[in-house]
Chain A
């Protein structure tokens, strides 16, 4: 299951990073491993809770835990099947859509339509429409700001040196925001708002300084010809891109891994406590999820390299940076409010935003339309598969 997430979802999330060739594949893998874990552990709890109780009214079934266990197993089986089939067919699907579709399917068939929290489902669905939109607008704005401050000037290199710390600071804020506001709770550290803000600020500044150290290391020839200045600026953005990739994977970990392990945590708590305790779920479940995701990505790595290597992508680090940061920010904000959004969808929205700002050489609208179609298709297919899986399990066990 989580293997499928890694192969399909995480690879998609890394696509802009790898497409811009800002970092090597090895570096990308390392970033993926570290920040996927960090994101899932530090930021994920809100989404898992939504997944457990938000979509279906599982308390109705607390006296019949077996049905719920069967149902969750069915959800897992259906999603795993669909994700792996989608990976095989080369269709990018979002785990979020698959899971929510499955849960709704299970809830409707087994518990009746009343058991589904339709208002919550509507919230999530609205989130799916608005998140790519918001990410697109953010990416558009971010790219225009980069353009206006750096690229249109007669001396882009000097301007880049002035403004890049600001963008570094922005990444730092996004990264530290979720860690501080959501993650510290897990270590029993409770801070008041002022302290939280101070910690966020301190972390952001630290990240800015780290980024600047990296940028200082970039070799610089004293007299650069006009045509090569842009290349030099892009080298700076490659550093930004690498850091943004961290934020993106972090956001993905906090959102998607947490989602993927949602049904598993329900089964676990049912089997151990015979009840639906909402509180702590064991860390090993999330760990399991992360290991699955990362191994999926690692195994798929070769294919990713081939695709990136063979395609002439017109994506420079600066554009990838604008798109990825916008997507990461949107996901982080959505996650912190407990709404599960799809990182992939958000990223596609952000890329379109940069494209609208005349930033990308060519975007294939037919492919993008197909991507959106596959997402819509995922909902009914996943719920249908879940019902079938549930009926099968029910016949076998019950």
Chain B
């Protein structure tokens, strides 16, 4: 006995939702992190950075477990490669957050006050994108329940459309913020400016990766 129970493999659906939630928790920590940075409260920022690193590690554990438990002999309702692509797209979000926090902490970078009126709306828009991606991924168990058909698919597709809009928004904001940095180029040391460009690029990447998650999810559904 026992063997017949084993024919039901461990479902990858819940772990992949968990992974996305962890990734989004990383992203959420960026807002208090940058608030602490603006106040030059490096102790608080350091604590938040540690939290981010910790969450990223947890996400990595889930990722590794999931990859180990997806042997080729598994018969899944979705394509295995699509699922793994979705996983690595989610993973890139968490990694990017860790990179951003690391860059700020190692260079003790601050956001110029003249930028903060555009910087924070831009940051929260990127966090929105990640939140939307998380929301869409969390529909996977409902999708499985409905057999990847019907009204549930429409709901998820609408979510992905919203995600695309958010990403476009953040793109516009990114080009605007770049122009503002350009205007500051004479006031700050060149090296500072270079890293500011890099920072906003990375934050913009968050929204891009979130959009990729949405795209992967769409491919997953439309098999």
Contact = CB atoms under 8 A, between A and B. Distances in A.
Contacts of B145: 151, 230, 234, 316
Given A151-B145, A151-B149, A357-B147, A362 B75 contact: yes
A365 B74 contact: yes
A25 to B, nearest CB: 14
A364 B3 contact: no
Contacts of A370: 3
Interface stretch (B7-15, B28-36, B46-54, B192-200): B7-15
A227 interface: yes
Given A87-B1, A227-B142, A367-B3, A361 B11 contact: yes
Contacts of B188: none
B142 A8 contact: no
Q: Indicate the member of A15, A87, A154 with the most B CB atoms within 10 Å.
A: A15
Contacts of B149: 147, 151-152
Interface residues of B, number: 31
Nearest to B153: A152
Contacts of A348: 4, 7
Contacts of A374: 3
B74 A311 contact: no
Contact of B7 (A8, A91, A351, A359): A351
Nearest to B10: A312
Given A227-B142, A359-B77, A364 B151 contact: no
B4 A363 contact: no
Given A151-B145, A152-B151, A303 B8 contact: no
Interface residues of A, number: 51
B189 interface: no
Contacts of A304: 1
Contacts of A230: 142, 145-146
Contacts of B6: 311, 364, 367
Contact of B3 (A92, A147, A234, A316): A92
B147 A312 contact: no
A91 B5 CA distance: 11
B5 A308 contact: yes
A167 interface: no
B1 A362 contact: no
B151 A311 contact: no
A364 B7 contact: yes
Contacts of A360: 8, 11, 75, 77
A7 B170 CA distance: 61
Contact of B8 (A19, A90, A143, A369): A19
A371 B147 contact: no
A361 B13 contact: yes
Interface string A117-155: 000000000000000000000000001000100011110
A313 interface: yes
Contacts of B152: 151-152
A151 B74 contact: no
A152 B78 CA distance: 17
A362 B11 contact: yes
B118 interface: no
Nearest to B15: A312
B76 interface: yes
Contacts of B2: 90, 92, 303, 307
Contact of A359 (B1, B10, B147): B147
A344 interface: yes
A363 B3 contact: no
Interface in A61-88: 87
26 contacts: A15-B5, A91-B3, A92-B3, A147-B150, A152-B151, A153-B150, A230-B145, A300-B1, A307-B2, A311-B8, A312-B14, A314-B8, A355-B75, A358-B77, A359-B77, A359-B144, A359-B147, A360-B11, A361-B13, A362-B12, A362-B75, A362-B76, A363-B8, A364-B73, A365-B74, A366-B73
Given A363-B7, A364-B73, 15 more contacts: A8-B1, A151-B149, A151-B152, A230-B142, A230-B145, A311-B10, A314-B13, A355-B75, A355-B77, A361-B10, A361-B13, A362-B9, A362-B10, A367-B6, A367-B7
Nearest 9 interchain pairs by C-beta: A152-B150, A361-B11, A314-B11, A362-B9, A358-B77, A366-B73, A363-B75, A364-B9, A151-B146
